[in-house]
Each structure stands twice: as C-alpha cells, then as structure tokens.
Amino acid sequence: MCVLPRAQEAWVPERKILRYLLNLNHTEGWSKAQFFLGQGFAEERWRILEQALRRHASTGIATFVRRQHALDYWRVLGVLATPSGKRPLVFSVWVVENDGAPRFVSAYPR
C-alpha cells in the first residue's frame, strides 16, 4: 500500500472548498458541491471538510499519476468521514512541488 508523501503536512486551500467543492454555482464543480453538501458538509463549517480531506490524504491509498512541470500529481482513494455519518469512497487529487507538502487539487466520489 502506497501512502501520499508527507501526507501529515497536506494542506487544503480555503478557496478550493468554498469556491469549488461547496459552490453550487461553479460551472464545473456544481456536481461535486451537490455530493459534498449531501454528505452534510456546509460553507459555514468548511473547516470540517478541510479536516476530512487532510485525514483522507493520510489514510487513503495513494497512487502516483504523473510528473508535469516539476509537479508530482497523486490520487488518493479512501473512505471520507462525513458529518452525515456516511462513509463514501472518494478520490482526492494532490500535487507535490519539489518534495514539498501536498496541496489539495480536487476530490470526487468514486
């Protein structure tokens, strides 16, 4: 089983959660917003989703995807803890630059 490098240091930009994952008006992310809002996540408590994604990065199975422009892209598959109590299987995508801490890119249900 492969683990995301430096997963304990993974970080999730606030804007990725508020403007993308929980934004029903986002032209590309609206379906993801439907999914995450349906799992009990909410804009006013966005840090709960941040924490769940960081935990997901540390506990899921990581797969190296590609190296592009000095960036390493990883995909993590695992169960996501949710406020609703459901435990959906989710993919998350992370990018690592110059062996730094993983930065969150996206997430979607399997």
Non-local (6+) Cβ contacts of 68 within 8 A are none
Q: Could you please report the per-residue DSSP string of 33-96?
A: HHHHHHTT--GGGHHHHHHHHHHHHHHSEEEEEEEETTEEEEEEEEE---TTS---EEEEEEEE
Measure the CA–CA gap between 106 and 110, rounded to whole angstroms.
Answer: 13
Query: Does a structural domain hold residue 13?
Result: yes
Q: How many domains does the chain have?
A: 1
In a domain, 81, yes or no: yes
How far is 76 from 43, CA to CA, in rounded Å? 24
Q: Is residue 91 part of a domain?
A: yes
Backbone angles phi, psi at 98, to 5 degrees: 50, 45
* Residue 1, in any domain of the structure: no
Q: What is the reported pLDDT for 29?
A: 86
pLDDT given for residue 1 in this prediction: 63
- Domain membership of residue 18 (yes or no) is yes
Domain, as residue range, for 24: 7-109
pLDDT given for residue 7 in this prediction: 95
10-residue averages of pLDDT along the chain (110 residues): 91 96 93 97 97 97 93 97 97 94 96
pTM for this entry:
0.94
pLDDT of residue 60: 96
Token pair belonging to 72? 């390493």
Three-state SS for 87? Answer: coil
Contact of 12 with 62, CB cutoff 8 Å: no
- Considering the domain boundaries, does residue 2 fall inside one? no
At residue 10, the pLDDT reads 97
